[in-house]
Structure 1
C-alpha cells in the first residue's frame, strides 16, 4: 500500500512537462521507481528515496538562499527528507524551506522546476540515492534568513554565481 505523498509524487511527475531530454529521462526513472517501490518516499528505503527541495529566491528573483550542508560540506539548495505526515511533495518542499530558512510567508511554485538523482550517505548512515524533486520558492520582500541546526551556514547568492551543485537555478534568473 502506498502513502498519500507517494500517490501525489506519481501524479505530479506524470503531469510534469520536463524542459529537456535529460530531465524527461529522470522523470521516467522516478516514475518507474515509484511504481516498483511503495516505500519510495520514506527515508527508510535504503536503495534510495524521494526528497523534496526548494530553491529559495529573494523577492526580486536575483539571489538564491543556499545552505552550507554540514554533512556534505557543500553549498546546496534547501530541502530534505519527506516526513510521514507530509501530504504532498510540494508541501514537503515548503516545510523544509521554512524550517531551514527561518523565513515565514514563503510561496512555492505549483510544479517542480528540476529533478536530480545523486548518491549520498544520509541519516541512514549507509550509501543511498536521493531522488530529488525541486521546487522554486520565493521569499517575501525584506526576508531575513535564520540558520537552523540543520545548516552550518546560510547565505544569499547571486543567481549567476551559484555553485555547480545548484546550477539549475541559473536558468531561473
Structure 2
C-alpha cells in the first residue's frame, strides 16, 4: 500500500521536527492524507531537476502561484508511490519524457499554506531529485507560464520566501562531495 511505503520512507529520514510532523499527519490521515480529495491538507509530490554538475536547476513559473518553483503536484490513483508521482509531475510539467529520479530517497519536506486561487488549504510537499542534461529540450505545460534553467546560486527574485534555503539544503544532502 502506498501509504505504508511512504511512512517507511519518512521513517528512514533523520529525525527532525519536519519528519515528525509528516509522520504524525500521515499516520493520523492514513490513505486520505495522500489524496487530493482527502481533505483541505494533503501530501503532494515534487521534483527538483538539476544539471549533472548541480550548478543549475530547472524551474517552472507556476501559473496560479506566480512564482518560480520545482515541478510537482497531487498524487494520482495510478501513481505507485509518492516518488512515482513526483517523477510523473516533473515529466508532465517539463516535457522531458526520459527524466528519471536520481533515487527514490526523499530530499525535501516542505509544508506550505495556500492562498488565493488554490482549492487546498495546505500542501505537505515531499521533494525528490532528478538530473537532466543542461541542453535537454523542455516545454512548459498548461500549469506553467515558462520553464527555464537558473544557476543554483542565483535564483530569480520570484520564488517563495524559503525556496533558496530549500535548494541549498537539497544540494547539501545530495551533491557529490
Q: Distance in 2 between matches of 1:157 and 1:41?
A: 31
TM-aligned CA distance change 1:68 to 1:13, over 3 Å: same
Match of 1:36 in 2: 28
* 2:6 aligned residue: 9
The answer for unaligned runs of 5 or more in structure 2 is none
Indicate whether 1:25 and 2:17 are aligned.
Answer: yes
Q: 2:55 aligns with which of 59, 62, 65?
A: 62
Structural mapping, 1:2-151, within 5 Å: 4-17=1-14, 24-38=16-30, 39-108=32-101, 109-121=103-115, 125=119, 127-140=120-133, 142-151=135-144
- Residues 49 and 146 of structure 1: is their aligned pair in 2 closer, same or farther, counting only changes over 3 Å? same
| Contact kept? 1:106, 1:140, Cα under 8 Å | no
CA-to-aligned-CA distance 1:75-111 (integer Å, 9 cap, x gap): 1111110101211111111111111111122221231
Report deviation, 1:122: 8.4
Q: Is the 8 A contact 1:13 1:27 kept in 2?
A: yes
SS at match of 1:160: coil
Q: Is the 8 A contact 2:112 2:124 kept in 1?
A: yes
Aligned-residue offset at 1:131: 0.2
Give CA-to-partner distance per residue, 1:8-60, whole Å, 9 cap, x none: 21111011225xxxxx1111111111111120000112231000011111233
Computed over aligned residues only, the root mean square deviation of the Cα atoms, in angstroms, reads: 1.9
TM-score normalised by the chain length of structure 1: 0.86
CA distance in 2, matches of 1:96, 1:170: 22
Q: Is the 8 A contact 1:77 1:166 kept in 2?
A: no
Distance in 2 (CA, whole Å) between partners of 1:76 and 1:170 is: 14
Count of paired positions: 164
Q: Deviations over 1:106-154 (max 9, x none)?
A: 22123111101000148862x5110011011111463121111111111
State the 1:170 CA deviation.
2.8
- The worse-fitting range, judged by mean Cα deviation, of 90-99 and 59-68 is 59-68
